[in-house]
Structure 1
Amino acid sequence: MDKEKLNKDLFVPAKKGKDTSEDIRRPSLSYWQDAWIRLRKNAGAIFGIVTLILIGVLSLAGPHFNQYGLDDQDLGHSRMPPRVQGLEEISWLGLNGNKSEIFEAATVEEAKERALSRWTQTDYEYVTFDVISEGNGTENSARVEGNFDVYAEKDMNDIYYWFGTDTLGRDLFTRVWIGTQISLLIALVAAAIDMVVGVAYGGISAYYGGRVDNIMQRIIEILVGIPNLVVVILMIMILEPGILSIIIALTITGWTGMARIVRGQVLKLKNQEFVLASRTLGSSNSRILTKHLIPNTLGMIIINTMFTIPSAIFFEAFLSFIGLGLQAPDASLGTLINDGFKSLQINPHIMIFPAIVISLIMIGFNILADGLRDALDPKMRE
């Protein structure tokens, strides 16, 4: 563009007064406000927050969505497949109350007979078949997909079990959400105790240093040297199985990781100028720890706690799965998965739903912890 054709009125000198020359144009943000802004930009962390909130709400409200209680049994309704009102026509969702399975035999008729014997039927009234292959008379050459309408066969057309029922005829939807309540309760309490004990132990050890630090760290090394699973199993065997015994078992050695992280952070901070200034002004050791050192390690504490919670949930589920956790008739995600594993091939829905819930909880906490780690680290700031 020809410079001579430009209008000189377009160029106006910027006016700057003495009172506005040093104005801060960008809004002032605190550490936590800045961390929240960065966390909101992390799609994975937001997904984790939404997932955990949704599961938390369902764990509290879900048992009240229907009239079935935790221990309401009806052996006539044993192993009912999931059925949701309004979704019966969408067959691929598997929520239409039908049992589906592929049967193989030498002929189509033999495959159909196998289906009837599996479902203890004497006629074809409630069973439909889709022939996949006709077969040529050889073994397992004919393949037939059978669909058995269990609700119609038991005259339960007006009854809906959203997650189906277990072997005793108990509603799985209610039991899954009550089990989620118990699993979350155990994990949150265990993580809170780990956080309190670990932060106090690691902070005191690092701040006083010297012989105190040496002795306290040797204690941690002894505890870490003993396999965690052995300690937990011994505690479960000594104490009566239940929620309290599992929490105690999880917290015996669970705090050591938090203590080491806090110790490392306090060692890095305790000789800095703001701590020296506080000590010079006469602050006590407890005040320096609680008002200056621990708050400056809060980011690492939150992140480590977020990773501790899913670990505690998984450990509780593992103990319940091997029979050392909660005992019947109590329900947790581990006990429900254990019950479903026994009949996985015939009635997979008993295991699938609690497995999905525990998987979502694990994924939600882990990706949220990753997002918090990035948001609370000033080095990650754009």
Structure 2
Amino acid sequence: MAKDNEKLSKDLFQPIELSAEKSEELTRPELSFWKDAWIRLRKNKAAILGLIFLVIIFFMAFVGPHMNKYEGTDALYEAKNLPPRVQGLEWMELFDGKHAWYVQGPTSEQAIEKGLSVFKVEDEHVRVTVVSEGNESTGELAEVELYIDEYATRGLEDRYYWFGADAMGRDLWTRVWEGTQISLYIGILAAAIDMIIGVIYGGVSAYYGGRVDNYMQRFIEVLVGIPNLVVVILMIIVLDPGLMAITLALTITGWTGMARIVRGQVLKLKNQEFVLAAKTLGSNDKRILGKHLVPNVTGIIVINTMFTIPGAIFFESFLSFIGLGLQPPFASLGTLIDQAFDSYQIYPFMLLFPSLIISTLMIGFNMLADGLRDALDPKMRD
């Protein structure tokens, strides 16, 4: 190896010119904090899937009610409890506009093999199959199949209720998406108020510390000790049940979690060198909090807010389900589930669609929040 090195000519090596201008030159494109977080978020397939779910639901919540000719408050007695019917999808059992009832027992083919009596009645819109156990004189039924074309029998062949109609004959497609609007409004508004109050309260408490922090934290402990349901009942007693009462009930105690998280982060950062440098340069407390401390905990704030939104939506649905939420004619996902719960065994489609949407919202927000937590954490960088 040494002999090979001796054979190398000095002419093969050329000195590199160094200059003060190139000493600060970057060798790769500069990435901001948020751009770097977005690049890492895109690699998280679960977070992107959750984001797609949320975009679709947000889009349908505002566009869906305008996609058909029915209003959410228009009631038609002849259309009550109609099953879903979608033009072009009648080949699917869920969207064919027919009701089917069964009584457990052997199928028609099994009954014939066993020598049981099988009776069938069929016309254009109704099909009934009855299997009699034993002989015709016993009259004991082992199976009943009943198919009814609800739209045809009620003379509503020209109507298409994509999610069906409720007990008052109102279009569930329109009501479900209007209810999604209200649920999203409550969840996002409550999360925004929680974020604003929590960030200000927690930041001030941690920055000033001492007696100020002690008094402010004792106040939080008092609020945390009050159950949310008690606060809701008090709000409903003072105010009429509705959006205002639910929003106030969610925000009275909801911001305490955000305040505690921000306080913990600010306590870790307020003694760092960049805060000391800002004080040395003459920055006042407001500027230090707003320009230096809060931006450094933005990732934690975003993540906690993303977890707060589904919690607020679920809590509103719970209140509506127990009768403390929105009152007619307003509809949210919780009120729709509450109205469908009493008859879900007979008309399961009334419960299926609002439950599916609220479940997708919960999953989407949590998947996206998990992805943001990893993307905004500097320790997770490759």
TM-score (norm 2): 0.88
| Cα deviations by residue, 1:39-58 (Å, 9 ceiling, x for unpaired) | 01111111111111111111
Alpha-carbon deviation of 1:216?
0.3
Alpha-carbon deviation of 1:103?
1.6
17 and 102 in structure 1: CA distance in 2 versus 1, 3 angstrom threshold? farther
Q: Which residues of 2 match residues 313-352 of structure 1 at below 5 A?
A: 313-352=313-352
290 and 136 in structure 1: CA distance in 2 versus 1, 3 angstrom threshold? farther
8 A contact 1:202–1:261 mirrored in 2: yes
8 A contact 1:83–1:95 mirrored in 2: yes
8 A contact 1:111–1:143 mirrored in 2: no
Could you say which residue in structure 2 is the equivalent of 1:86? 88
Could you say which residue in structure 2 is the equivalent of 1:119? none
Residue-pair matches, total: 363
140 and 25 in structure 1: CA distance in 2 versus 1, 3 angstrom threshold? farther
24 and 106 in structure 1: CA distance in 2 versus 1, 3 angstrom threshold? closer
8 A contact 2:224–2:256 mirrored in 1: yes
Matches of 1:140 and 1:274 in 2, distance apart?
Answer: 86
SS in 2 for 1:255: helix
Structure 1 counterpart of 2:264, one-letter code: G
Q: Which residues of 2 match residues 49-88 of structure 1 at below 5 A?
A: 49-88=51-90
Structure 1 counterpart of 2:92, one-letter code: I
Alpha-carbon deviation of 1:227?
1.5
Structure 1 counterpart of 2:294, one-letter code: I
Alpha-carbon deviation of 1:128?
2.4
Q: Which residues of 2 match residues 127-146 of structure 1 at below 5 A?
A: 127-129=126-128, 135-136=133-134, 142-146=142-146
SS in 2 for 1:143: strand
Q: Which residues of 2 match residues 355-370 of structure 1 at below 5 A?
A: 355-370=355-370
29 and 165 in structure 1: CA distance in 2 versus 1, 3 angstrom threshold? same
Could you say which residue in structure 2 is the equivalent of 1:306? 306
CA RMSD of aligned residues (A): 2.8
Larger CA Rg, structure 1 vs 2: 2
8 A contact 1:103–1:111 mirrored in 2: no
Matches of 1:15 and 1:99 in 2, distance apart?
Answer: 86
Could you say which residue in structure 2 is the equivalent of 1:223? 223
| Cα deviations by residue, 1:199-230 (Å, 9 ceiling, x for unpaired) | 00000000000000000000001111121222
Alpha-carbon deviation of 1:126?
2.0
Tell me whether 1:208 sits opposite 2:225 in the alignment: no
* Structure 1 gap segments, 5+ residues each: 1-7, 117-122
Alpha-carbon deviation of 1:21?
8.2
| Cα deviations by residue, 1:54-86 (Å, 9 ceiling, x for unpaired) | 111111111111111121000110000001111
Identity of matched residues, %: 59
Matches of 1:370 and 1:293 in 2, distance apart?
Answer: 24
TM-score (norm 1): 0.88
| Cα deviations by residue, 1:246-299 (Å, 9 ceiling, x for unpaired) | 101100000000000000000000000000000011100011000000000000
Tell me whether 1:47 sits opposite 2:49 in the alignment: yes
Structure 1 outlier segments of 4+, above 6 Å: 12-15, 105-113, 137-141
8 A contact 2:206–2:213 mirrored in 1: yes
Matches of 2:256 and 2:81 in 1, distance apart?
Answer: 44
* Structure 2 gap segments, 5+ residues each: 1-7
SS in 1 for 2:230: helix
| Cα deviations by residue, 1:298-340 (Å, 9 ceiling, x for unpaired) | 0000000000000000011111111111001111111100011
Structure 2 counterpart of 1:313, one-letter code: I
Alpha-carbon deviation of 1:101?
2.3
Could you say which residue in structure 2 is the equivalent of 1:26? 28
Structure 1 counterpart of 2:125, one-letter code: Y
Structure 2 counterpart of 1:188, one-letter code: I
